[in-house]
Structure 1
Amino acid sequence: MTDVHHLSQATHDRLSAELEHLTSHGRTDIARKIQAARELGDLSENGDYHAAKDEQGKMEAR
C-alpha cells in the first residue's frame, strides 16, 4: 500500500529547487573537497577525507 502525500505548489517548488541545488552544486562542491583531501596523502588517517565522505553520504541520502 502506498501513502499519498499532497504538497502545495510552494512546497513542491521549494523541494524541486533544493534537489536541483544538491544535484548540481552540492555534488560538485563535495567532489572538490574529496579531491583536495586525497591530494593530502594517506587516506587512512585523513580527517578531511573522512569528513567529506560523510558529508557526501548525508547529501546523497537527502
Structure 2
Amino acid sequence: MNQAISFSPVNTLYNALQFLINYFTFVNLMELISFAYQQQATRYYVEILILLPIDLGTIAL
C-alpha cells in the first residue's frame, strides 16, 4: 500500500474495513483447512478400523 498516513475519518473507515475483510478471510481459510484435515483424519481412522479384525464391543471408547 502506497498511501500517505493520514487520520481522516474516511481513511480510518477504510483501514477498519480492510482489517475486517482480512480477518474474516483468514478465519474462513482456517475453518476450511481444519474441516479438510478433520475429514481426512476421519477417513484414515475408518480405514484402519475396517482393516483391523477387532471386536468393537471389547474396546472401551
TM-score range, shorter chain: 0.3 to 0.5
Superposition TM-score, scaled by structure 1 size: 0.44
Higher relative contact order (CA 8 A, sep 6+): 1
Superposition TM-score, scaled by structure 2 size: 0.44
